[in-house]
Structure 1
Amino acid sequence: MRDTTVRRWLAGLGATGMLVAVASPASAQAPDATLFVKFPNSAVAVDHDGTVQAPELGASKQVELQQVKVTYDLSGLTGKVTVKEAHGNDYCTPTGNTLVCELPYPLGLDEYGTEAHFEVELAAHEDAEVGDEGTLKVSFGAEGYETVSHQAKIRVAEGVDLVGGPEDEVSVRPGATFDGPVTVINAGEKPAQGVAADFDLDRSLSATQRFSNCLYRDDILESCVFDDVLEPGGTYTALLPFTLRTDTFAPGSFYNSVRWMTQADFEDRTAQARVAGTKGTAGKLALTKVNNVSRKGGQTDVDPENDTSGFIVKATGDNGADLVSLGDTVTGEVGDVVTATLGALNEGPATLDSTRGGGPVTNIYFNVPAGTTVVAVPEGCNPLLPDGGGDGENPGAPGAAAYHCYTKSLLVKDERQTFEFKLRIDEVIANASGKVEINVDCRCEGRTSDLDASNDVAQILVNPTEGGGGGGLPVTGASTGIVAGAGILLLAAGAFGFVLARRRRTRFVV
């Protein structure tokens, strides 16, 4: 079940990358930067191996930290839960009732945080009993920064083993309703005293009924809690009613992934959530009914690696989308700084959604008009070097002759995304134009075609002599921004890394 390993690995890469980007020492950081630390509430099973958890470390702004220290105060867990360093990195030293962990190298952080450091293993003490609980205090500090702390509830629970059922497939046309099955198996030797399902659905799957034991974000199903008792060896299924949105791209594949967990693990996951959804008002969504078994206290899953199930929805038919390149017309005198707005418009009829993979809907190339200089670059745009490579060391740097911009991952029908470039007019050239091209075949994520390729190129027109036209005006000819070779592969890697670092679809934020 745990998907944190990959995420922590990626976060570690991001943190390492920041060490390159941040050139000034910690002492030069702005004094208003503050640190934060979070640690998840957790349950550990008696008579089972421990569970590995990590603190989330972050800062209110991008910083480079020296002499990073995390301290675990174990005094609230004496005789109940043991805590030790995981993976044998030798960063931590037991000292009385504390576990003091120090990082031997600088750490770059920002407001997105990282869980790539100071993992610990939590395990039930040999004398612990189901129902025991205590508090783990985690403190985080660094040279020149005030130490901050967070307290997490750690409890001892009975161990069960939930397994996600097989993946199903449903084929429907956009606009049709259907029931999607989700299945869970109790593979352990003890009854599971209720379960919870945490859903991760694509936008195209719209819930048609809002059950009272489930939470929703608008019409997107977030989670459900079932009080049913799952007997050992039993298989249980719930049918979820959905509509495949009329603006769903077809043909295509869309997904519902569900993670099954005990009610205690679900409570821990949501205890400190800022947004967990809105409860439905209809009847309860139910699993197969069984006789109740008396509770013995909280339960936790001893093998969370196999807890996911779900289904795939195959959207049939033909429902595409037309992306339109957007340009602009600007005027000014020598020395003026003007704003040129460029971007892409989705004219539908389908919504374009690449959030599952995390990449942009499309890529945009902008060739700067002659006689002008870019003095301010919007977020999401990076300069192209003359050899076609991306200037990865100076993302968003001004003064380049061409730029690569990537859109967000979701562009619904009739929605546009624009980027504002600040251009300084160095020389007044009548009808100076720059090219704006979408669906660029740059060997990177993002679509390269749509329903109508004739509107994929527009222009930024500077000081037109007659009526001239920017926004959406097609321009013929090959794109001067499309280049080949190793340089473009570097650009692709940079764009992908930026998007992946920004993408973190986490429903429960602690």
Structure 2
Amino acid sequence: MLKQSTRWLAAVGAAGALVAAAATPAVGAAAAIEPYFQDATLAVGSTGTTRNLFLYADEPTSLTDVSVRYDYRSLAGKITVAPDDGQKCTTPESGVLVCAEPQDVSLYELPPLGSGLYRGVTKRVRITTTDDAKVGDSGDVAVSFQAAGGRQGSYTSRVRVGEGVDLAGGPFTEHASKPGGKFTVPLAVANVGDKVVKGFAAVFDLDYSIRTRDRFSNCLYSGDHLLSCQFDEEIPVGEGLATTLDFELAKDTYAPSNQSGYAQFMTTADFEDLTRVREAAGARAATSGGGPKLTLAEAPSRMRQADQTDVGPGYDYTGWTIKTTGKNGVDLAAIGATLKGRAGDVVTATVGFRNNGPATLDAVNEDFEAPTHTAVELPPGTSAVEVPATCELQQGTRTYVCPSEMLLVAGKTYTMEFRLRIDKVIANARGAVQVNAPCECPSGGIFTGDTKPANDKAPIVVNAGPGGGAGGGGGEDDGGALPITGSPVGLLAGLGGLLLVAGAGGYLLARRRSARFVA
């Protein structure tokens, strides 16, 4: 099944970051913790589903003595909630489960670097139906947590009982195109269950480079990126539906390379469970197309008689590999700084690199590894007062190594700030910034395809003066910890992108999209 089994994971880790703060539950004051527990639709007689409680904050936080309370009394006798990760739980009354987290729950920053949004996850619970559950039953699960120091919060999610169906995606296909070229891919889905599927959705995971000019009225878009489509067609048992999608590669696609795209099919109810939180969470608005409706086949349009859920996930997706032909490379150029000050002054060095293009470097994948690393060697006579949280000092040196974002857009500048104290004024004290620097990571951290390695290094120069500092050529995109500015880069180029469609807890591609990239 290739690597797709690693891409379609419940409960994104940032995943991500299904990550922009605008696309997640709103966080309050610095100390506030906001919980989220995704809705669920359960099939009668199925093995149920697992859910995690997600905790969000706007500062790094570690919670101790955490307990989570699941109150499902509105569905007592219809569903059960049970521990699924070996945690110790009690049932103080019917329809209530209280679980103690075996370890502290730490909230880590979600991508992109410097997002200012932090997320932690508690142990899973499994939600199943009982023998008394009937199609159409519905109720709430009120989930609350308590932690040391008076930390607490609650979230109420919806649980429905529906019919079980089974969707399967069409075969994976391969295609070819040059940067800026157009190509067409099949979109096929089949009903491999024993009940008619009455309406469904397709949620897309497309590489940054894959764009579309179509604007179907039943689909959602972020710029030129296709996010999802909803269909009201029925799929009879044992039959399938198919259509085609027209895509094109962005002109800044790296070549030669392989680009990829995927679509996961889900029932209408499962899609609602995924997305109902969007408006309440303040998700950045995705836009519906103004063109004709995308249809897979002609079928009678009927109202849903019951909510449905996919009871056979795992092969409910399809995908495409696009071989990008020709040559389109990347030049990463280091940005240094010129600083002036007196002994005892603290100055700011804004350093980093610029992607001179012509191609965008997209390393968003399941390997969790940045495409390049930047080494920052401090000038003699200075010491670091404040450095980006992602940078690490190399043992026995004065050099910090910092990972980049996962997506490095052509024409964009990626900078970070080092606050340096001038301990001793030394004329023309020189440090250095080196992009494509080696690191202690599996790939070595060096982007070997740089078309102009001669500009991979730039100086950091400190001299006596009235104080202050300047970067060595940063533009409007300078500042922060290697940020990317501009419009969203698609559904899953970060959790924020995912949350254009998905709920704040996430659903898709935890491994693929959970490293350092921006929405």
Which residue of the partner structure matches residue 48 of structure 2? 50
- Distance, in Å, in 2 between the alignment partners of 1:156 and 1:276 is 29
Contact 1:328–1:461 (Cα < 8 Å) also in 2: yes
- Distance, in Å, in 2 between the alignment partners of 1:294 and 1:270 is 20
The amino acid that maps onto 2:358 is P
The amino acid that maps onto 1:154 is V
Selected match of 1:427 from 424, 429, 441: 424
SS at match of 2:417: strand
- Equivalent pairs counted in the alignment come to 445
- Distance, in Å, in 1 between the alignment partners of 2:384 and 2:46 is 61
Deviation at 1:200, TM superposition (A): 1.0
Contact 1:380–1:406 (Cα < 8 Å) also in 2: yes
Contact 2:183–2:248 (Cα < 8 Å) also in 1: yes
Selected match of 2:437 from 436, 440, 447: 440
Which residue of the partner structure matches residue 289 of structure 1? 298
Selected match of 2:392 from 370, 379, 382: 382
- Distance, in Å, in 1 between the alignment partners of 2:315 and 2:349 is 51
Selected match of 1:200 from 187, 201, 205: 205
Selected match of 1:256 from 258, 261, 265: 261
Contact 1:34–1:145 (Cα < 8 Å) also in 2: no
Which residue of the partner structure matches residue 91 of structure 1? 89
Q: Please, what TM-score do these two structures have when normalized by structure 2?
A: 0.80
Deviation at 1:378, TM superposition (A): 2.7
- Distance, in Å, in 2 between the alignment partners of 1:353 and 1:9 is 18
Which residue of the partner structure matches residue 317 of structure 2? 308
The amino acid that maps onto 2:190 is I
Structure 2 counterparts to residues 144-293 of structure 1, below 5 A: 144-273=149-278, 274-275=283-284, 277-292=286-301
The amino acid that maps onto 1:366 is V
Structure 2 counterparts to residues 58-77 of structure 1, below 5 A: 58-77=56-75
Contact 1:183–1:310 (Cα < 8 Å) also in 2: no
Q: CA separation of 1:412/1:308 partners in 2, compared to 1, >3 Å: closer, same or farther?
A: same
Contact 1:362–1:448 (Cα < 8 Å) also in 2: no
Q: String of CA shifts for 1:456-505, please: whole Å, max 9, x gaps.
A: 1111122299xxx9837xxxxxxxxxxxxxxxxxxxxxxxxxxxxx9656
Deviation at 1:220, TM superposition (A): 0.7
Q: String of CA shifts for 1:200-226, please: whole Å, max 9, x gaps.
A: 111111111110000001111110001
Deviation at 1:262, TM superposition (A): 0.3
Which residue of the partner structure matches residue 459 of structure 2? 459
Which residue of the partner structure matches residue 485 of structure 2? none
Contact 1:183–1:235 (Cα < 8 Å) also in 2: yes
Task: Please provide the CA RMSD for this pair.
Answer: 2.7
SS at match of 1:269: helix
More deviation, 203-212/97-106: 97-106
Which residue of the partner structure matches residue 346 of structure 1? 355
- Distance, in Å, in 1 between the alignment partners of 2:118 and 2:30 is 17
- Distance, in Å, in 2 between the alignment partners of 1:306 and 1:172 is 27
Contact 2:15–2:495 (Cα < 8 Å) also in 1: no
Which residue of the partner structure matches residue 496 of structure 1? none
Which residue of the partner structure matches residue 342 of structure 2? 333
More deviation, 425-434/194-203: 425-434
- Distance, in Å, in 1 between the alignment partners of 2:424 and 2:251 is 50
Which residue of the partner structure matches residue 406 of structure 2? 409
Contact 2:87–2:102 (Cα < 8 Å) also in 1: no
Which residue of the partner structure matches residue 39 of structure 1? 37
Q: CA separation of 1:509/1:189 partners in 2, compared to 1, >3 Å: closer, same or farther?
A: closer
1:126 aligns with 2:131: yes
Q: Which structure 1 segments of 5+ residues have no match? A: 12-30, 387-399, 473-501
Q: CA separation of 1:86/1:422 partners in 2, compared to 1, >3 Å: closer, same or farther?
A: closer
Which residue of the partner structure matches residue 78 of structure 2? 80
SS at match of 1:288: coil
Which residue of the partner structure matches residue 491 of structure 1? none
Selected match of 2:503 from 498, 503, 509: 509
Which residue of the partner structure matches residue 135 of structure 1? 140
The structure showing larger relative contact order (alpha-carbon pairs under 8 Å, at least 6 residues apart) is 2
- Distance, in Å, in 1 between the alignment partners of 2:30 and 2:455 is 47
Which residue of the partner structure matches residue 418 of structure 1? 415
Which has the larger helix fraction? 1
Deviation at 1:105, TM superposition (A): 3.6
- Distance, in Å, in 2 between the alignment partners of 1:206 and 1:134 is 40
Contact 1:215–1:276 (Cα < 8 Å) also in 2: no
Q: String of CA shifts for 1:140-187, please: whole Å, max 9, x gaps.
A: 111322532111111110100011221111100111112122221211
Deviation at 1:293, TM superposition (A): 6.2
The amino acid that maps onto 1:43 is T
Q: CA separation of 1:104/1:381 partners in 2, compared to 1, >3 Å: closer, same or farther?
A: closer
Q: Which structure 2 segments of 5+ residues have no match? A: 17-28, 109-116, 474-492, 505-519
Deviation at 1:130, TM superposition (A): 1.3
Q: Please, what TM-score do these two structures have when normalized by structure 1?
A: 0.81
Contact 1:177–1:243 (Cα < 8 Å) also in 2: yes
SS at match of 1:100: strand
